[in-house]
Amino acid sequence: MKKILANIKKAVKNAKTALIVSHIDPDGDSIGSMLAMGNILTQFNLTTFYYSEDGLPKVYRFLPGADKVVNKLPPFQRYDLLFTMDASDIKRLGSKLSVKEIAKIIINIDHHPDNTKYGNFNYIEKCSSTAELVFKIAKHWDIKINRETAENLYIALITDTGNFRYENTSAKTFTMAAELLKTGIDTHEISTRIYDTRSIASIRIQAAALVNVEISPDRKAAWTVVTEAMMQKHQARGEDLMGLVDQIRSIEGIEVAMLFREEKSKVKVNFRSKNKVNVSALAKRFGGGGHIRAAGAVMLGSIDNVKNDIVAEVLKYLKASKYLA
């Protein structure tokens, strides 16, 4: 770790500009880590820019520095450094960014174990969140973490650990959280904004989706579908589905939960597992990936065909699994 962080620091000291990029469909960890990393880089007098192809979900727009994030870049603009945050594969950065052409050096920071190491420098370590790696960078470089940086890191941390409920939470996670709290961040306000603030559209689209939940005969898998027509009817956005697949996973006895969302000619699939199934391995069968308990994939085809194919494969997997006998 020390060597890679020393190399990254050297690259930072020799640079003048940096672009920091989140993955598509950005979550709290990707966004919070991106903004926190930007705060660290500005202390080296870098001119720093932030990019997210899908913009920012409304729930994260209160974050310090969120107003600097853009979803379009000036044509022909080039940067000395490109930092990618929480993206296990270069394709996760989106289709509109020519990653290899836009910057001289790519610095890939991620905590996903299946990261493809596409950067010139790859700081990859399995831990609770990418935020934990950004925190380690600040410590290793002797950067003082101010309140703005702490707030971004804390939000990244709680969203990727399910508010410290998921098994990726460790003693180091709580130690990090304790240090962040010393900066004076308001954890109650943060948690209220993230977990207890929903739009009417979110309530309605999730209610419609939950009504249509299907459960496998062995009651080990459950899934639902959200069509474009449903989204239009309830005037919902993608971010309004946040937490929906987790509600399905919470059904007693369910080991694998799936959400199928129709979006133009594609179907976005979210996988969740409760205790024993590695859904990252399942997602890989369909060109996706992620974590052991949370993963995703994007498929071409009609939503009915995609759903039927994936559900059949998941049920086949569950039936053959020695862990669920």
The owner of tokens 């559900």 is 311
Q: Which residues of the chain have pLDDT under 50?
A: none
The tokens of 295 are what? Answer: 């993963």
Indicate if 165 and 224 belong to the same structural domain.
no
> Last residue of a domain, which of 167, 195, 223?
195
Indicate if 59 and 96 belong to the same structural domain.
yes
**Closest-CA residue to 117 (of 280, 4, 219, 198):** 4
Q: What is the pLDDT of residue 251?
A: 97
Q: What is the pLDDT of residue 204?
A: 97
> Last residue of a domain, which of 195, 210, 239?
195
Indicate if 96 and 238 belong to the same structural domain.
no
- Report the CATH number at residue 183: 3.90.1640.10
Rounded Cα–Cα distance for residues 129 and 27 (Å)? 11
Q: What is the DSSP letter of 141?
A: T
Rounded Cα–Cα distance for residues 253 and 201 (Å)? 29
Indicate if 114 and 41 belong to the same structural domain.
yes
**Closest-CA residue to 133 (of 162, 111, 106):** 111
The amino acid at 199 = S
Domain that holds residue 125: 1-195
Full-model pTM: 0.89
Q: What is the pLDDT of residue 323?
A: 54
Indicate if 220 and 184 belong to the same structural domain.
no
Indicate if 248 and 171 belong to the same structural domain.
no
Q: What is the pLDDT of residue 78?
A: 94
- Report the CATH number at residue 253: 3.10.310.30
Indicate if 171 and 133 belong to the same structural domain.
yes
> Last residue of a domain, which of 143, 172, 195?
195
Q: What is the pLDDT of residue 311?
A: 96
